[in-house]
Amino acid sequence: MTVNAFLTYWTLVVAAAIVVALAGYLSAVAYYLYRAGGGTRSHLARLADGLSAVRGNAAPLEQRLSAVAQALSALRNELQAVDDHLAEAAATLRR
């Protein structure tokens, strides 16, 4: 076997090994990408189903939160009135 044939042989072996390693790596990447979002039972599909369930469960909160916001606004007005009365009382006591 000549040196030229030996180098050609090992170049082909190394090139084939690189191609096989790259093909294996790309196959693994394709598999995990498919698992992430490719099918109906993928992680992405399950996440979308979960978000739809959250949206459905959170829909009634809008009405309750608007009632809470109105109550808090009324409470703020009452507390401001109390603060004004306390400020007047403090001013009266300082005289």
State which amino acid sits at residue 29: V
What are 19-73's pLDDT values in tens digits?
Answer: 999 999 999 999 888 888 777 788 888 888 999 999 988 888 888 898 899 999 9
Q: Residue 39: left (phi > 0), alpha (psi -120 to 50), or beta?
A: beta
Whether the pTM exceeds 0.75: the reply is: no
Distance CA 47, CA 17 (A): 39
What are 65-81's pLDDT values in tens digits?
Answer: 988 999 999 999 999 99
The predicted pLDDT at position 26 comes to: 97
Cα-based angle 17, 21, 26 (whole degrees, multiple of 5): 150
Q: Is the pLDDT of residue 95 over 90?
A: no
For residues 77 and 69, the answer to whether their CB atoms sit within 8 Å is no
